[in-house]
Structure 1
Amino acid sequence: MTALVHADGVTKTFGDLTAVDDMSLSVGPGEIVGLLGANGAGKTTFLRVLLGLEVATSGRVQVLGSAPAVSDRHALGYVPQGLGLSQALTVRQNVEFVADTFGVREVPALPTALADVADAPVARVGLGRQRQLAFHCALLHAPRLLVLDEPTSGVDPLARARLWDTIHAQAESGVGVLVTTHYMQEAEQCGRLVIMSQGREVAHGTSDDITAGTRAVVVHAEDWAAAFAALDAAGLPVVLSGRTSRVAGTPVDDVRAALSTGGVDGRVEEVGATLEETMVLVERAARRSTD
């Protein structure tokens, strides 16, 4: 399978700051590849290098078989974090502008939700519809590769689900998709994941690959608040899930000892760690290795 986008050893520096450090990645037709990491991990900068909006300090990037170039933009669909829409123009005018830019003669009809506000300035349209509009514009010219930077940020769960239906439909038609997201439920819909921390890749593979072998301890206690406080006081990486506490990457005996020290009675069980828990552990380990 020929990659639509391929990066090999990409590094991008800004003065003394290394924003992207020796990153490699590929996306093939029909694939959905998720790029994950905390804010400041380097995801957006890496995407901008892949798109040719930033020039790599070192390394090699190929998009559709050649170095990123403006002439290849007709084969790319891009939804940036800021959406790239003109807030002063109406919904319809934004679509007409993009269609004219890419020479699209047969412009698809607006979805019902957008048709209802077609003559409203984008600035007066809700964020959910703005994101739907950004998707619509990105797909007008039938791109072979979609690059989506936090495409569902700030919208309600139903709107996110609808946008992901669009992503899956594009992948099923052979379009390659590279997407960044903070939502773990969305990350688990990706065929492959790449986790970044401090500009570097720290894990890659399917969700199951990344979480394999990582365990968490679930604590059930009648006084759940006291259990959480005892685990937190012991310096363990505890999070609440409903009224149970979860501690990832920690031996069961250490959890029991923390509860005992805090005078808390509780039942513990070991389970597989979630993707989010594994990401936290991987990122902490990466930061410690560079301190």
Structure 2
Amino acid sequence: MSAGVIRADRVTRRFGEFTAVDDVTMDVGAGEVVGLLGANGAGKTTLIRMLLGLLTPTKGAVTLFDGPPDRSRRARLGYVPQNLGLYRDLTVAENLGFTAGTYRVAAPNLPSDLMPQADTLVGELPLGAQRRVAFLAALCHSPAALVLDEPTSGVDALSRARLWDTIRGEADRGAGVLVTTHYMEEAQECDRLLLMAAGRLVGHGSESDIIGDTEAVAVHTDDWASAFAALNAAGVPVILSGRAIRVADTAPGKLERILAEAHIPATVTPVPATIEERMLVLAKQATGT
């Protein structure tokens, strides 16, 4: 695996007094999928815009293919932004023809199940189909690197799995892939993970590397709403999924005292931590909350 398809060396980006990205160093190598994780506002999109040459770093340096992200190097890149980068008032065929023309390549062939939509306006397609068209547009020139900003957001599980097949296929072909996602289960699809919080890189490596020795506790109670409110007010890193309550990096005894003082009957059970729980812990540490 070669390194340095996409690189950032101690990049910082400020907007006035606000620091959106703070001293981040990262890289994406050829043939690997690197996941960029973090909550909204963590700095992921600002970092991506610098990697693409759309924003100039306040400090530090960005390189694409061992050089500055100029027009010629960006031409070797495929990009799917959060808004997909498609023209909603053009048809599928017109979108693909326009994008292919900018790269001076032939328009890609549509998969058989999308052929009936060739003359449909993109804005009239379901979101899953729009995302597939955006992928076709981004891949039409066989890019050497891909940058994908929330590429599977808002689509069903089957469509997400198909898009990940495409992502993995591009990496197998040799492209370096940087992908952001809100779906923690998709972290397992990545070769490496980069975790951002408050503009800083707070974790990197495999999922197990990032979780490390973080432990979690499951809270069992019928009064889940009151339990969540009490734990949240106490400042512990609590997560509510449905009616299931979990707390990371906190001793069970402390949770029992908080709940007892709030007069909430509950039992607590140690459980393995998830990457989402580790992210919450690191985010609290980064923001000092």
| Distance apart, 1:28 and its partner CA | 0.4
Any idea what SS the aligned residue of 2:117 has? Answer: coil
Give the equivalent residue in structure 2 for 1:248. Answer: 248
Question: Which amino acid counterpart does residue 152 of structure 2 have in structure 1?
Answer: T
Deviations 1:144-195 (A, max 9, x none): 1000011111212221111111111111221110011111111232111111
TM-score, length of structure 1 as denominator length: 0.92
In structure 2, relative to structure 1, the CA distance for the partners of 1:195 and 1:268 (3 Å cut) is: same
Counterparts of 1:55-204 in structure 2, within 5 Å, are 55-105=56-106, 107-204=107-204
Instruction: Determine the C-alpha separation between the residues in 2 that align with 1:147 and 1:127.
Output: 19
| 1:155 aligned partner, one-letter code | V
Give 1:65 shift: 1.4
RMSD: 1.9
In structure 2, do the counterparts of structure 1 residues 10 and 215 end up closer, same or farther at CA, with 3 Å as the change threshold? same
Q: Identify the residue that residue 29 of structure 2 maps to in structure 1.
A: 28
The separation in 2 between residues aligned to 1:2 and 1:247, in whole angstroms, is 37
Q: Helix, strand or coil: the match of 1:188?
A: helix
Q: Which runs of 5+ in 1 are unaligned?
A: none
Q: Report the Cα distance in structure 2 between the residues aligned to 1:36 and 1:158, rounded to whole angstroms.
A: 22
Bigger drift between 28-37 and 188-197 goes to 188-197
Q: Is the 8 A contact 1:91 1:114 kept in 2?
A: no
Q: Which residue of 2 aligns with 1:41?
A: 42
In the other structure, the counterpart of 2:276 is: 276
SS at match of 2:288: helix
**Alpha-carbon contact 2:239-2:277 (below 8 Å) kept:** no
Look up the match of 1:4.
5
> How far apart, CA to CA, are the structure 2 residues paired with 1:219 and 1:266?
7
Q: Deviations over 1:68-95 (max 9, x none)?
A: 1101233100001111111111000111
Structure 1, 58-67 or 265-274: larger mean CA deviation = 265-274
Give the partner amino acid of 2:179.
V
Which whole-Å CA distance do the structure 2 matches of 1:125 and 1:249 have between them? Answer: 44
Aligned equivalents of 1:56, 1:227: Cα separation in 2: 44
Q: What is the distance in 2 between the residues matched to 1:55 and 1:137? A: 26
Structure-2 separation of matches of 1:113 and 1:191:
30
Measure, in 2, the Cα distance between the counterparts of 1:85 and 1:230.
Answer: 46
Shift of 1:266: 3.8
CA distance in 2, matches of 1:189, 1:139: 20
Q: Please state whether the residue corresponding to 2:24 is helix, strand or coil.
A: strand
Relative to the length of structure 2, the TM-score reads: 0.92
Equivalent AA in structure 2 for residue 195 of structure 1: L
- The Cα of 1:248 is off from its aligned counterpart by 1.1
Q: In the alignment, does 2:221 pair up with 1:216?
A: no
Q: Tell me by how many angstroms 1:17 deviates.
A: 2.4
Check whether the contact 2:3–2:27 (CA below 8 A) recurs between aligned residues: no
Tell me how far apart the structure 1 counterparts of residues 7 and 233 of structure 2 sit (CA, whole Å). Answer: 46
Q: Which runs of 5+ in 2 are unaligned?
A: none
Aligned identity (percent) is: 53
CA-to-aligned-CA distance 1:84-136 (integer Å, 9 cap, x gap): 1111110001111111111113x432023321211011111121111110001
Q: Please tell me whether the aligned partners of residues 33 and 192 of structure 2 are also in contact (alpha carbons under 8 angstroms).
A: yes
